[in-house]
């Protein structure tokens, strides 16, 4: 990984975060409407259609977790504690400038945290079904999406029309296609870019709440990577072992896990978490007769460990292993994330039945286990 310009990448990331804060302030001062979102299940097209900018509020660092633990239990998922801590300490301008936060009843920890978050900033919680297979599950979620639409119309004094929803779907589909083009750069051997570059680009996109700018940024990354690859200037050596990263959202472990993989002879060729190709590849038919139903159906179909059963995730992981010619699978489970932790048993079974080595890492956002994590990853890649 010596050829990867990490300082430049981090500078760009820090600049994007800082500029995003300033942009949020300016956006609000100019009368803009801003919603903070916390999960892939949030139907972003409904917000887009109301002229409400969307920004991700998920906490992905250890910075405010000690503050969060003055209210929340210590043995809670770091993503939940990080999210609440940034709101509690007012260290996240995005939370501060948000007019409303949209939550969802995924895990028990998040849905109870939302009750406390609502005391800091108005938090609207969508009620997810427990699974996708019941005949009435789609109707339940459709009603939830419709209630969200009505909530936003009432709060902001707006009308969200079918025409606006279709235009929002069209734009989000373009963004998803651009992201999928970026993921698919990793199909080549060697891949066109390091996986940490993708992970940083996804984080950076979270600080850009203008969709057109997000599309432009991602398309720029794809174009530059393709040109460099075709010119023989790719940074990834052919010897790099191809790793699929799965499990919990990986935004908070880019340095701790992602960069360690790529500093020890590996390259992440597939992000198989809820922000990766598994979810981004799910498009919406902008010509559907009932556009709101098409939106709600798409979001309910997302495969997350909170759903029972969740066989779709395993089927997708299997396809990704084959598509990206994976040498090894690393499953990242955030501490106290019980659904992904339990599901890791089935993931290991499926991966090893395919003859692919598997490593499970249970961790948090602190640096206390960084040495142990690096030792385990280095040993894992060495055996591939």
270: helix, strand or coil: strand
Answer whether 0.85 is exceeded by the pTM.
yes
Question: Counting beta carbons within 10 angstroms of the beta carbon of residue 377, is it exposed (0 to 12), middle (13 to 18) or buried (19 or more)?
Answer: buried
pLDDT digits (tens, 9 = 90+) for 132-163: 999 999 999 999 999 999 999 999 999 999 99
Which of 248, 281, 266 lies closest to 196 in space, CA to CA?
266
Q: Is the pLDDT at 257 greater than 50, yes or no?
A: yes
pLDDT digits (tens, 9 = 90+) for 73-118: 999 999 999 999 999 999 888 898 999 999 999 999 999 999 999 9
In sequence order, the 6+-apart residues with CB closer than 8 A to the CB of 1 are 194, 235, 259, 262, 263
pLDDT digits (tens, 9 = 90+) for 22-60: 877 888 899 999 999 999 999 999 999 999 999 988 888
pLDDT class of 318 with cuts at 50, 70, 90: very high
What is the rounded average pLDDT of the residues 263-287?
96
For residue 310, the Cα-to-chain-centroid distance in whole angstroms is 18
Beta sheet of 328-334, edge-to-edge order: 266-272, 241-247, 328-334, 358-363
Angle at 75 (CA atoms; ends 70, 79), nearest 5 degrees: 80
Q: Is the pLDDT at 210 greater than 90, yes or no?
A: no
More confident residue, 70 or 201: 70
168: helix, strand or coil: helix
Q: Is the pLDDT at 204 greater than 80, yes or no?
A: no
């Amino acid at each position: 990984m010596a050829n990867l310009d990490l300082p430049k990448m981090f500078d760009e990331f820090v600049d994007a975060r800082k500029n995003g804060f300033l942009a949020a302030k300016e956006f609000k001062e100019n009368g803009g409407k801003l919603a903070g979102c916390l999960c892939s299940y949030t139907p972003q097209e409904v917000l887009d259609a109301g002229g409400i900018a969307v920004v991700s509020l998920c906490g992905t660092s250890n910075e405010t977790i000690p503050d969060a633990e003055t209210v929340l239990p210590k043995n809670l998922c770091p993503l939940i504690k990080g999210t609440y801590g940034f709101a509690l300490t007012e260290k996240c301008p995005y939370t501060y400038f948000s007019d409303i936060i949209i939550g969802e009843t995924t895990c028990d920890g998040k849905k109870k945290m939302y009750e406390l978050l609502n005391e800091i900033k108005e938090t609207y919680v969508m009620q997810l079904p427990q699974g996708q297979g019941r005949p009435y599950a789609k109707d339940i979620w459709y009603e939830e999406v419709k209630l969200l639409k009505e909530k936003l119309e009432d709060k902001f004094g707006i009308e969200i029309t079918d025409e606006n929803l279709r235009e929002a779907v069209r734009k989000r589909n373009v963004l998803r296609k651009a992201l999928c083009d970026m993921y698919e750069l990793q199909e080549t051997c060697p891949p066109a870019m390091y996986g940490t570059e993708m992970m940083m680009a996804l984080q950076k996109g979270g600080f850009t709440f203008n969709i057109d700018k997000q599309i432009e940024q991602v398309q720029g990354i794809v174009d530059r990577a393709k040109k460099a690859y075709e010119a023989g200037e790719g940074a990834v050596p052919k010897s790099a072992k191809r790793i699929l990263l799965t499990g919990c959202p990986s935004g908070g472990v880019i340095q701790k896990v992602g960069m360690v993989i790529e500093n020890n002879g590996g390259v992440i060729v597939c992000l198989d978490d809820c922000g990766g190709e598994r979810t981004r590849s799910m498009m919406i038919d902008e010509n559907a007769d009932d556009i709101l139903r098409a939106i709600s159906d798409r979001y309910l179909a997302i495969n997350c460990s909170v759903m029972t059963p969740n066989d779709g995730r395993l089927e997708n992981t299997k396809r990704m292993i084959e598509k990206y010619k994976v040498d090894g699978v690393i499953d990242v489970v955030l501490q106290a994330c019980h659904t992904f932790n339990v599901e890791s048993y089935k993931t290991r079974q499926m991966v090893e039945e395919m003859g692919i080595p598997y490593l499970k890492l249970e961790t948090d956002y602190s640096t206390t286990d960084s040495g142990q994590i690096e030792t385990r990853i280095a040993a894992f890649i060495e055996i591939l």
